[in-house]
Chains A and B, each alone.
Chain A
Amino acid sequence: MVDARREPPVVVETPWLRLLPPATRWVFQGPPHVRALAAAAWGVPFAAEACRASTAAGRSALWLGPEEYLLLAPDTAAERAAIGSLELSLQGVPHALVDVGHRQVALEVRSDQASVLLNSSCPLDLDLAVFPVGTCTRTVFAKADIVLWRTRRDVFHLEVWRSFLHYVTGILTEVAREFSDAG
């Protein structure tokens, strides 16, 4: 029997918008004192500061709440195993690790107009001084819930629940029509 094939959602790519490849994604939740333990086990510092992401060796931990981090890593067997080790090392301490690898997908918006595109539907102040590189937050994009993470000056990483993907890309595409130079 042939194994079932993986069929991630599809987005029409543009110079400024693309779907990022599948990823290992887990939600880590636990009290602050467990944070350091988890960070040590996984090899990425968990930012104590609100709305900050930290990255190390391809793994990222995004602060989403005082007790909540979104863990992102490449979709590889090694990374899946690393999460398994993390779970093992947290045995006996209060925490929750839940796989959300298929719950959401990642979009990348890359444009010198990225902030303006996003501000069509996201009410946050995305000025570089207010929302510097490394800022991440759960927020709204029109009527969708997203995680917004500024990875570079002109690059934003959006985590979108899969059934909202086409709504979000539909809005971005419609809004981008006013920028001939959106790329």
Chain B
Amino acid sequence: MIALRTAAGGRVDRSKPISFTFDGIRYAAFAGDTLASGLLANGVHLVGRSFKYHRPRGLVAAGSEEPNGLVTVIRDAARYTPNLRATQVELHDGLVAHSQNRWPSLARDAGRINDWLSRFFPAGFYYKTFMWPAKAWKSLYEPVIRSAAGLGKSPSLADPDRYAQRYAHCDVLVVGAGPAGLAAALAAAATGARVIVCDEQAEFGGSLLDCPGARIDGTAAADWAAQARRALAENSRVTLLERTTAFGYFPHNFIGINQRLTEHLAAPAPGTLRERLWQVRAARVILAAGAIERPLVFPGNDRPGILLAGAARTYLHRYGVRVGTRAVIVTAHDAAYQTALDLGAAGVSIAAVADLRGGPGGGAPGPLADAARAAGIDVLTAATVLGTSGNLRVDGITLGSVDSGGGVRAGRRIACDVVLMSGGYTPSVHLFSQSRGRLQWSEPVRAFVPGESAECEVSVGACRGIFELADALSDGAAAGAAAGNASRAAGLSAPNPTPAPLAPVVEAPAWGSDAYLGALPQPDAFGGDKAFVDWQHDVTTRDLALAAREGFRSIEHVKRYTTTGMATDQGKTSNLNALAIVAAGLGVPIAQVGLTSFRMPYTPVSFGSFAGISRGDLFDPVRTTPMHAWAAARGAVFENVALWKRARYFPRAGEDLHAAVARECRSVREACGIFDASTLGKIEVVGVDAAIFLNRLYINNWSNLAVGRARYGILLREDGFIADDGVIARLADNRFHVTTTTGGAARVLATMEDYRQTEWPDLDVWLTSTTEQWAVIAVQGPAARRVLEPLVEDIDLAAATLPHMGAGRGRIAGVPMLLFRVSFTGELGFEVNVPADYGAAVWEAIFAAGQAHGITPYGTETMHVLRAEKGYIIVGQDTDGTVTPDDAGLSWAIGTRKADFVGKRSLERASMKAADRKQLVGLRTRDPAVVLEEGAQVAERPGLSAPMPLVGHVSSSYHSANLGHSIALALVAGGRARLGQTLYVPMPAGDIEVEVTPPVFYDVEGLRLHG
């Protein structure tokens, strides 16, 4: 047996031997190997079990299109990455990889039984078989299918690595650094354009790295690639990104790019970034994505050891690895002959080249076949493949021949340990398709190629069907120069005085052409072993034929029914063959069947990359008020309100929520409470038309609001339902201070700006958010005035001079203050507004002054209870977007003499005035200890079972320590006409009897407010 690693050559570093393990077995390799080349160098082809039938599978490709070689790479318990393509996993010393989808082992896998039972698992089997009984779907079928399906396991520990994201802009983005891409980048960079070049591989060069026979400008192709890279790297306006996949093409040339920074390192420094997501806005995009070789579809084409011919050439030239010792090459493309010659020269025995082309008895296609024959290789023409043999590795292939009438005759079986296949090359049009460019069928290429672009984009080289090296280089250079010059013309970048033309002299063997699409001819179309079209999703010719038989005509439907092309490889190797088979089944040309759309990502992208730094504390802004530290130091329990942290309650030792809230509630009513209201939205509305503006927006009348007075305002949507509320104070003739709900601040400002700019641009009025300008300290309770009086200058707090809903400017603790006498508790109350930097100090000053009066800090929970005792609504809790002002008992606020306001016309509709609309009422439970559940439904009669007629729901519900019983607000149909009625709240434990009451439970006359 010959060694599989060649004695010399390849781009691996033979001075750096490394080792790795696969399924626990240690193997030797070299730095520069991929997991795939390292395994193949050790004669390992078997790398996984197939998705559905659990058939043994080997490596098929050498690049990102690999459908079979999905592995799990484990660095440690938390760095556990499933479903990596072995062809893209760069080896480092000590790398640990495992195969997937097998149990108990890769060689002996219990799931293989699916293959023998496959007649019961045709395409769409889960739609057909598991329909009955319906209950079994959730409890039995789905769990079983889910555990059987899926590849790899997710890591269970949090990802310890760091990921970053970066926005970037450029004049020209080049995707792919093969010959066309490098030529494009050189030409674009020469114009002085800002250029970004990315390539998914570890090394720039693409096909230049595995064509030793090619020379560019007298330099070996791979060396030319390295020179080109160096030249680009010296240009400060060029960014080069290796190991970087352009995975998504978004509108307006916005490209998602994933860069892998440390995967290839044996021991990345702790804290090093693992991946970076680039979001690139490119003036022009050059797609140089290359082409992917197509497998051939014949019975038993999925045995380990059967791979793409071009992959064998890549493994030989880039990694110095022979994929086997005795090869049969089956091809419809000229390039496979070069592979045969190269492998033969490297010591691989070429048992035969079976060419699908050529008439019976000879007519070898092209001079390459002659060269192969001259090298002593047996070349068969008009060949087909009838089957293969071998258990975990191919050990033979049975060829046949096609006669002039299309009949298939059995031929001989040839022993071999690898079968190399080439059905021609499919241009990689994934990104072009994502960009919504139109694909068109090219008969010469026998594939879809980019047609009309939808974006400022151009495809170059093999991804548009230009395969010959010289052609690809000049295609890329021309596009690069054009893109660079266009960006210069557009003034996007500084012109370079000496743009260098690029016209390389190329000496290279002809690449050749031709293709085969669809299934190879068989004597009995589906008689033999399964012939796979989509390796990764285990879709066979029979599945596609079944779909056609069952009447699926659209390729989009066939795709979904059979799942062909829907695996993580997105059908990179399978789409065109599937299409050809469907087209043949339907009896229409391929071009007429059309191609399904390609979806992002081109190859899978890690969640970490998408998350970037948006984790933990940086996931969302955590907004805190100037008094936050004080509350935290006091042991406040916080709750999230929009992005804000608000103190919910201030428990003392031994207190739970209820005890703390009961104490806080009593303190406010009996003495004085202090509350942080800074998060309330604030908008300063300024201009001579400010009152008119507010009149048109809010339901209230603002013209008659005196300077130094405030009013409770309600904002509706156009449909007449309550959108927001808040106190609005008139600070001057032309200046209003509007407050909004905490969560509604941004929405109200945006609504106001919308109306201002689009509906009433004639008004002289401007809006400024002042939410964060002011720290707001609510001081509430019978002692509030006595607490504040010693601290306040320039305002007389007496009821006569500053009555309820009065406003004024003054000073507190020596700093400027905006003071409102307002109350959301029903008590005498003040809201002290001071510039935010003074918030903490003024709070502390008030708190200190309040000690003599029993001042108590309270949180949002107490605020909720106190306002509910007074029947004050909270927008979003007691309203749900279907509540009118009248429903909420607030029709008194409507400025009836106003010509119009937002929502006014909607309120005139008959249904908005119906007597049976849900109206805000209070509910009192018969048992005062029972606290209703918020959201509970309300029924008219007890003892009903669902479905039952319901007349309302509970919107707010608390235990009231001040009243000694529970209270609730509810929206009940015709509620105000039901006062005194008994209703029932049906709960799982039985009906709760409630009495309908007015929504105000405490100080109904409102005397305390005016104290």
- List residues of chain A with CB under 8 Å of any chain B CB: 1-8, 22, 27, 29-31, 67-68, 94-104, 116, 119-125, 127, 129-130, 142-144, 161-164, 166-167, 170-171, 174-175, 177-178
Contact = CB atoms under 8 A, between A and B. Distances in A.
Contact of B814 (A3, A98, A144): A3
Contact of B841 (A4, A98, A129): A4
B773 A103 contact: yes
A39 to B, nearest CB: 17
B271 A170 contact: no
Nearest to A119: B167
Contacts of A127: 169, 194
Contacts of A4: 812-815, 834, 838, 841-842, 845
A164 B271 contact: no
A116 B166 contact: yes
B797 to A, nearest CB: 16
B510 interface: no
B769 A103 contact: yes
A40 to B, nearest CB: 20
27 contacts: A4-B834, A4-B838, A4-B841, A6-B838, A7-B837, A29-B686, A29-B768, A31-B764, A95-B687, A96-B765, A97-B686, A98-B768, A99-B770, A99-B773, A100-B770, A119-B166, A119-B167, A119-B168, A120-B166, A123-B281, A129-B494, A161-B772, A163-B624, A163-B625, A163-B644, A174-B618, A177-B271
A154 B477 CA distance: 35
B773 A102 contact: yes
Interface string B291-324: 0000000000000000000000000000000000
Contact of A6 (B169, B271, B837): B837
Query: Nearest 6 A-B pairs (CB), nearest first?
Result: A3-B814, A96-B686, A4-B841, A163-B623, A96-B766, A29-B766
A162 B836 contact: yes
A95 B493 CA distance: 39
B617 interface: yes
Nearest to B644: A163
A164 B618 contact: no
B165 interface: yes
Given A163-B643, A163-B644, A167-B622, 15 more contacts: A4-B838, A4-B842, A7-B838, A7-B840, A8-B837, A31-B764, A95-B687, A98-B686, A99-B835, A102-B836, A103-B772, A116-B166, A120-B164, A125-B281, A178-B164
B499 to A, nearest CB: 18
B162 interface: yes
A175 B613 CA distance: 8
Interface string B477-490: 00000000000000
Nearest to B619: A143
Interface centre among B167, B281, B494, B815 (most CB of A within 10 A): B167
Nearest to B835: A102
Contacts of A164: 621, 623
Contacts of B613: 120, 142, 171, 174-175
A163 B281 contact: no
A102 B621 contact: no
Contacts of A102: 772-774, 835-838
B493 to A, nearest CB: 7
Interface in B469-521: 492-494
B279 A123 contact: yes
A165 to B, nearest CB: 9
B388 to A, nearest CB: 50
A94 B688 contact: yes
A5 B841 contact: yes
A123 B623 contact: no
A2 B688 CA distance: 39
B614 interface: yes
Contacts of B840: 7
B167 A122 contact: yes
A124 B845 CA distance: 45
B629 to A, nearest CB: 9
- Max chain B Cβ within 10 angstroms of own Cβ: one of A8, A98, A104, A174: A98
B837 A170 contact: no
Contacts of B267: none
Given A101-B773, A144-B621, A3 B813 contact: yes
B28 interface: no
Nearest to B684: A98
B944 interface: no
A148 to B, nearest CB: 13
A2 B166 contact: no
Interface in B788-815: 790-791, 812-815
